[in-house]
Amino acid sequence: MAESRQNGVETARSYADSVRGAFSAMGVYGGVQAVQILAGMIRGKSAALLLGVGGMGVASLYASAAAVVQQIAVAGLNLAVVREISGMSDDEESCRVAATVSRRLTDLCAVAGVILCLLLSPLLSLLTFGSYEYTVGFMCLSLMVGMSVAATGRQALLQATRSLRPLAGATICSTVVSVVVAVPLYWAFSVNGIVPAMIAGSLSGLWFYSRAVGSSRLCGRSVGVRLRDQKPLVRRLLRSGMSLMAVGAMSVGVAFAVNVWLRAEAGESSVAMYNAASSVSSQCASLVFMAMAMDYFPRISALAGDRRAMSGVVEHQICAVLTVLAPMSCLLSTMAPFVTGLLFSSEFDGMIPMLRWLSV
């Protein structure tokens, strides 16, 4: 009887700790997501007015193709780094060694991403747009791919060490700067400003995440190690990263295939409306999911060896997600016409039924 009562107390305490950590992360990173959504609204509205529905379709196609290359280049290291380092918080020296190795590996992946995008530029142009007209655009986007991979690696280090406030600050700053730069480029160059805006956004992300990592106590100071002297750690990161990469690569690959099919069947305008509806619905969900993941992923990675404790954390997080997300989905479905007019323009009215289905 006493043992049962003790187990009940421990379960309740575990639930309280899990939910408290989730909502604490939502309090810190939820604000970041709100800023990102507001910035996305400004950028989307500006693009709708300055580029038109066709121009937004071109931007969506560029972004989805670059995402495939970026996902392959990063090799899942961002997820592997969080998994590896989140369990080292009590050993600062090991944490610094792992952080140094991780940063060097992601930088090598960034270089590989640039080379891969350059080599595949003609093929990407042909697959994405049905011609070689956009080859130079994809060659320029290789810079964005490389900087995005490097920035993703630094973001993973901040997440792994649970440096949520520096991570939040870097995300807010890079988001604001990318919008401030993108809107004038759209206004001055129209469709030709899409690629420079994407490059500028990735550069701001790399700059601010690098500064945040540099000021971190656990991962800011590099340790004098060589990759060949850390072969077991390198193998673990690469093996784990490649297995984790599969799901992400499939996800962005399917999104790219859908965009290409829509462009071939119905033109860039349909691509723009599909991605606009997807973006609005996913932003509502990401306000919850991304905020909670800042606490959830390191927490569950640290419990990977304890199946019972890990199952408890999963159940608690699901309850917290449903509590917040269900009312948001209902509200989005009800206000779909208003949201479409507010965020885009009358050209996008055709996306209203799709937005309602996606909210469900």
Rounded to two decimals, the pTM is 0.76
Distance CA 180, CA 7 (A): 53
Per-residue pLDDT of the chain in tens (360 residues, 90 and over written 9): 445 445 544 554 554 555 555 555 555 555 666 777 788 778 888 888 888 888 888 998 999 999 999 988 888 888 787 777 776 666 667 777 778 888 888 889 999 999 999 999 999 999 999 899 999 999 999 999 999 999 988 888 887 777 778 888 888 889 899 999 999 999 999 889 999 999 999 999 999 998 888 877 666 566 667 767 777 777 887 787 777 777 778 888 888 999 899 898 888 888 888 888 888 887 777 666 766 666 666 667 666 667 777 777 777 777 777 777 888 888 888 888 888 888 887 788 888 888 888 887
- Collapse the DSSP code of 222 into the 3-class scheme (helix H, G, I; strand E, B; otherwise coil) and give the result: coil
- Collapse the DSSP code of 54 into the 3-class scheme (helix H, G, I; strand E, B; otherwise coil) and give the result: helix
Which among 107, 56, 116, 120 has a CA at the least distance from the CA of 262?
56
- Collapse the DSSP code of 159 into the 3-class scheme (helix H, G, I; strand E, B; otherwise coil) and give the result: helix
Which among 160, 21, 158, 156 has a CA at the least distance from the CA of 88?
160
Identify the pLDDT of residue 232.
79
Q: Give counts: helices (H), strands (E), the chain.
A: 12, 0
- Collapse the DSSP code of 39 into the 3-class scheme (helix H, G, I; strand E, B; otherwise coil) and give the result: helix
Identify the pLDDT of residue 323.
77
Q: What is the CA 83 to chain-centroid distance, rounded?
A: 17
Identify the pLDDT of residue 95.
74
Distance CA 208, CA 252 (A): 25
Question: Cβ(44)–Cβ(343) under 8 Å?
Answer: yes
DSSP 111-139: HHHHHHHHHHHHHHHHHHHSSSTTHHHHH
Q: For residue 164, how many other CB atoms are within 10 A of its CB?
A: 20
List of long-range contacts for 332-339, beta carbons under 8 Å, 24+ apart? 332/280, 332/281, 332/284, 332/359, 333/359, 333/360, 339/280
Q: Tokens at residue 167, please?
A: 């991570």
Distance CA 317, CA 313 (A): 6
Which among 8, 5, 27 has a CA at the least distance from the CA of 287?
27
Identify the pLDDT of residue 14.
52
Identify the pLDDT of residue 283.
73
